[in-house]
């Protein structure tokens, strides 16, 4: 199959270009340990369990997880520490982890550079708060490899995944037909299904995909690595993506 109409690759961000799940898990562990070291006299496993519950209840984009966490600790534990210092320790440890360990998968920069050399436009379609998602792109060191006018963040455009309107808007603003684009993401429901309804090509990047996926949703391609995607572009779409 040769498909010269493919002109753009649009990527989900979290768990597609880097391991959000593993990074967040380690960052939360470090935060809990820092809080305990700063005076929170509660077993680590208990604090981690409560923090997971806070995240489920308030969502990952909430900005006061550790304040809510401390409110749920036993009264005697709160009275034996300086709450503001304990919260600050958790926040600092989380952000220190982000500074040290937020990195793209090893093949991401190589693939994006090669895809750009092949003439493809590269963009991002991501759900989340604008500042947070942009910060991730900067920390990942990817801002030089994606088209800045092809970054679509749900908070910034007012449309959330899995609404197909978000994907349609991306194609329209790039002056492309949906069929000119391939959506690459880790979530079958949020990334693949809405893109398919518009006629976009789709690739399920499953290396960091979470459990509980709707396997009835069928992507055009399944890839674990971006080297596999490069080969698909070469062999299946006639796009001369350089080897890397």
CB of 132 closer than 8 Å to CB of 61? yes
Q: Residue 60 has what pLDDT?
A: 83
Instruction: Say if residue 51's pLDDT is above 80.
Output: yes
Q: What is the pLDDT of residues 141-188, one digit of tens each?
A: 999 999 999 999 999 999 999 999 999 999 999 999 999 999 999 999
For 35, the token pair is 């809080």
pLDDT (average), residues 209-217 = 92
Helix and strand numbers, DSSP H then E, in the chain? 11, 6
Residues in CB range of 24: below 8 A, 6 or more apart: 60
What's the pLDDT score for residue 1? 44
Pairing of strands 181-185, 8-11: parallel
Q: What angle do CA 48, 54, 59 make, to 5 degrees?
A: 125
For residue 173, CA distances in Å to 6, 39, 72, 157, 233 come to 16, 52, 46, 11, 23
Q: Once rounded to an integer, what is the mean pLDDT over residues 127-137?
A: 94
- What span, in angstroms and rounded, lies between the C-alpha atoms of 66 and 63? 9
Measured CA to CA in angstroms, residue 39 lies from 11, 60, 217 at distances of 42, 25, 48
Tokens of 240: 């001369």
Question: Cα separation of 204 and 190, whole Å?
Answer: 11
DSSP 209: P
pLDDT, the chain, mean? 95
Question: If you search the block for the tokens 């993401």, which residue do you land on?
Answer: 185
Q: Which domains does the chain have, with CATH numbers?
A: 8-18+103-237 (3.40.50.1000), 22-101 (1.10.150.520)
Helix (H) or strand (E) segment spanning residue 57: helix 44-58
Stated pTM of the model: 0.86
Going from the C-alpha of 21 to that of each of 13, 60, 90, 124, 238, the distances in angstroms are 12, 11, 18, 19, 34
% of the chain residues with pLDDT over 70: 98
């Amino acid at each position: 199959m040769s498909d010269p109409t493919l002109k753009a690759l649009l990527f989900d961000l979290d768990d597609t270009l880097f391991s959000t799940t593993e990074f967040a898990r380690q960052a939360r562990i470090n935060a809990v340990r820092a809080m305990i070291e700063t005076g929170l006299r509660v077993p680590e496993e208990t604090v981690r369990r409560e923090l997971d519950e806070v995240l489920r209840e308030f969502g990952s984009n909430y900005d006061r997880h550790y304040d809510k966490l401390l409110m749920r600790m036993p009264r005697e534990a709160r009275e034996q520490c300086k709450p503001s210092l304990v919260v600050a320790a958790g926040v600092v440890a989380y952000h220190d982890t982000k500074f040290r360990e937020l990195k793209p998968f090893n093949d991401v920069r190589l693939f994006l550079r090669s895809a750009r050399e092949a003439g493809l436009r590269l963009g991002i379609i991501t759900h989340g708060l604008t500042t947070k998602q942009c910060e991730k792109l900067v920390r990942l060191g990817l801002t030089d490899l994606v088209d800045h006018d092809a970054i679509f963040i749900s908070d910034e455009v007012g449309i959330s995944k899995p609404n197909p309107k978000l994907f349609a808007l991306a194609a329209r603003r790039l002056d492309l037909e949906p069929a000119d684009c391939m959506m690459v993401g880790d979530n079958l429901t949020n990334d693949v299904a809405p893109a398919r309804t518009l006629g976009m090509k789709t690739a399920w990047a499953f290396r960091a995909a979470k459990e509980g996926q709707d396997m009835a949703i069928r992507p055009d391609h399944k890839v674990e690595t971006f080297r596999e995607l490069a080969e698909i572009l070469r062999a299946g779409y006639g796009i001369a993506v350089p080897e890397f």
